[in-house]
Amino acid sequence: MAKKKGPVKVGVVGCGAISAAYLRIGKTFRDIEIVACADLDRKRAKERAAEFEIPRACTVKQLLADKSIEIVVNLTVPKAHATVAMQALKAGKSVYNEKPLAVEREDAQEMLALAHKKGLLVGGAPDTFLGGGHQTCRKLIDDGWIGQPIGANAFMMSHGHEGWHPDPEFYYEKGGGPMFDMGPYYLTALVNMMGPVSHVSGCTRITFPERTITSEKKYGKIIPVETATHIVGIMEFASGAVGQITTSFDVWGAELPRIEVYGTEGSLSVPDPNGFGGTVKYKRGRDEWKEVPLSHGYVENARSLGVADMANALRTGRSHRAGGELTYHVLDLMHAFHDAADAGKKLEIESTCARPEALPLGLLDGEVAL
């Protein structure tokens, strides 16, 4: 059967805070056309559609019944990711989930199996590793600027969301916590640069069993904490490199780098993986640190870059970069840090993935392929 031509029609499910970036920036990519948005709160869907000139605000059922829609962007809360994704796949649509891919491994495995059976694509956030900052780091590593990578450190230190987020409860539910909230950014960046992880160990704790919301909407509400809020993980990469990741909602302040990668001939300071651009610094041997000009574009907020890449893959038949194997491997790692902490021993990681293909140089805004 001949492949379809033209932009891929996209429907967005979930019209919360993050949807604004997807709806605004998604319109700038030539490979996708956002034609509908849906939410359990129909009023919120209508407001988003009006704000970003999306043709239709509808129910989830109506969106899934629209045969012209080929990709569903699933921006629901984490515990709904698997349910909505499975509904979309059963309706014959490829799925791009917000992070994490799912809360449970088994649900993600079921999604991937169904997608494979039906010839559909599954993938998801984050796509920040496709931004200019991280693609520059990827190129420096691939071109041998630091020699052979031997190690990495990654740190995400904060005191949680209850002081500013209007609805922070789910950050402290199972499937939340700093690892499942922010870990996908850091782990995806590391796998993009250094490849998959083969073994992990970990330590975790819950420092504060309850949290008090101090943001205006729900000021004074007490949140019971159901998941670890300070996680330290050790990674052995399949390449032989070793790394550490710390994610925390328990820390009042820190001056640690976001990510550093160490090689046999130099070191690399990697920008915040929650953004697309940032400053890249490189140190060769005993030389001083030097800032490196970014080699790639997409240095501002480019949410939907991964969706556009999936759409291009649908049209061309190539692999997409923020794909199911990568997003599942990251989910597997996040669970494994907790599992290793509970078991008190190093664990072998069953999943693996290929390093996603680097973006080509010279892309114009709105392009994902030459």
- Predicted confidence at residue 4, as pLDDT, reads 83
Q: Any idea what the CATH number is for the domain that residue 21 is in?
A: 3.40.50.720
DSSP code for 367: -
Number of domains in the chain: 2
- Predicted confidence at residue 1, as pLDDT, reads 41
Same domain, 231 and 162: yes
- Predicted confidence at residue 288, as pLDDT, reads 97
Q: Pick from 273, 325, 254, 369: which is nearest to 101 by CA?
A: 325
What domain range includes position 149?
A: 129-292
Give residue-wise pLDDT tens across range 146-185. 999 999 999 999 999 999 998 899 899 887 899 999 999 9
In the numeric block, the tokens 């780091």 are attached to 137
- Predicted confidence at residue 171, as pLDDT, reads 92
Summary mean pLDDT of the chain? 96
Question: Is 135 domain-assigned?
Answer: yes
pLDDT at 363 over 70: yes
DSSP 283-337: EETTSPPEEE--SSS--S--TTHHHHHHHHHHHH-PPPTTBHHHHHHHHHHHHHH
In the structure encoding, which two tokens stand for residue 272, read together?
């915040």
Question: Is 221 domain-assigned?
Answer: yes
Same domain, 140 and 288: yes
Q: In whole angstroms, how far apart are CA 29 and each of 22, 32, 200?
A: 11, 6, 38
DSSP 44-74: HHHHHHHHHT-SEEE-HHHHHH-TT--EEEE
Same domain, 113 and 172: no
In the structure encoding, which two tokens stand for residue 123, read together?
């993938």
In this structure, the number of other CB atoms found within 10 A of the CB of residue 332 comes to 23
Give residue-wise pLDDT tens across range 302-358. 999 999 999 999 999 999 999 999 999 999 999 999 999 999 999 999 999 999 999
CA-CA distance, 293 to 179, in Å (whole number)? 31
**Residue 280, strand partner residues:** 292
Question: Is 311 domain-assigned?
Answer: no
Q: Which residue has the higher pLDDT, 74 or 2?
A: 74
CA-CA distance, 116 to 94, in Å (whole number)? 10
CA-CA distance, 304 to 78, in Å (whole number)? 18
Same domain, 185 and 40: no
Q: Pick from 40, 35, 41: which is nearest to 11 by CA?
A: 35
Of 292, 309, 335, the domain-final residue: 292
What is the SS3 string spanning 332-356?
Answer: HHHHHHHHHHHHCCCEECCCCCCCC
pLDDT at 5 over 90: no
Same domain, 144 and 113: no
With pLDDT > 70 as the criterion, what percentage of the chain qualifies? 99
Give residue-wise pLDDT tens across range 9-36. 999 999 998 999 999 999 999 999 999 9
